[in-house]
């Protein structure tokens, strides 16, 4: 599916890249992937190295200065309440309203998983998977440059991220 604004339309079955026609779902997906990976590389090549050291802007010593306090079910529910009610999902196909309405049942185990992740410094692999959709911008629909990728995170990934952001702000107070 292709999204343009709030409208959904059919995805083209053929694209053109470097004057070559690309067809087939797998070939189109791989070419999109390579295209977007190369966009980042090309942009990075245009950035000139800075002659200013980071400590010009961040003076002081910061080694081991970040600490995350363990969480509990109440704090997880607080973070979960900041999720918006949406009907779109990540790769797990769980929409946010289902997560929010069932949080009473999963807040305690989720708090334990978050605390374990903090202790071991390991984020569960499933939380690193995103669903990427393409949003059509404008121009010819068969050109890769006329799309932008959007990453759809699963709700539990959002809760992890929001918890770490919330904890960072809490610890800096």
The predicted pLDDT at position 125 comes to: 92
pLDDT of residue 142: 92
Read out DSSP for 55-99?
Answer: GGTS-S--TT--------HHHHHHHHTTS---S-B-TT--BHHHH
pTM score, whole prediction: 0.69
pLDDT value for 4: 45
Residues sharing a CB contact under 8 Å with residue 41, sequence separation 6 or more, in sequence order: none
Q: Give me the pLDDT at residue 116, please.
A: 93
Looking at residue 1, its pLDDT comes to 46
Q: What is the pLDDT of residue 2?
A: 47
What is the reported pLDDT for 95?
Answer: 85
Contact between 76 and 111 under an 8 Å Cβ cutoff? The reply is yes
Q: Which residues contact 87 (CB under 8 A, 6 or more apart)?
A: 95, 97
Lookup: tokens for 105: 């049942």
SS3 content of the chain, % helix, strand, coil (to 5): 45, 15, 35
User: In this structure, how many other beta carbons lie within 10 angstroms of the beta carbon of residue 4?
Assistant: 14
Contact (CB, 8 A) for 99 and 162: no
Q: Cβ contacts of residue 116 below 8 Å, gap of 6+?
A: none
Residues of the chain predicted below pLDDT 70: 1-9, 62-65, 169-173
Question: What is the per-residue pLDDT across 77-119, written as a single tens digit (0 to 9) for each?
Answer: 988 888 887 777 888 888 888 888 899 999 999 999 999 998 8
Length of the chain, please?
Answer: 173
Domain ranges of the chain: 60-171
């Amino acid at each position: 599916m292709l999204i343009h604004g709030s409208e959904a339309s059919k995805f083209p079955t053929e694209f053109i890249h470097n004057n070559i026609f690309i067809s087939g779902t797998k070939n189109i997906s791989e070419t999109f992937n390579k295209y977007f990976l190369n966009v980042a590389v090309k942009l990075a090549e245009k950035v000139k190295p800075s002659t200013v050291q980071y400590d010009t802007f961040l003076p002081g010593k910061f080694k081991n200065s970040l600490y995350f306090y363990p969480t509990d079910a109440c704090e997880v529910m607080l973070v979960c309440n900041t999720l918006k009610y949406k009907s779109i999902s990540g790769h797990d196909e769980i929409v946010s309203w289902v997560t929010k309405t069932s949080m009473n049942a999963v807040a305690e185990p989720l708090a334990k998983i978050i605390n374990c992740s903090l202790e071991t410094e390991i984020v569960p692999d499933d939380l690193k998977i995103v669903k990427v959709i393409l949003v059509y911008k404008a121009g010819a629909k068969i050109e890769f440059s006329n799309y932008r990728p959007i990453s759809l995170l699963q709700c539990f990934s959002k809760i992890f991220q929001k918890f770490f952001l919330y904890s960072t702000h809490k610890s800096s107070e």
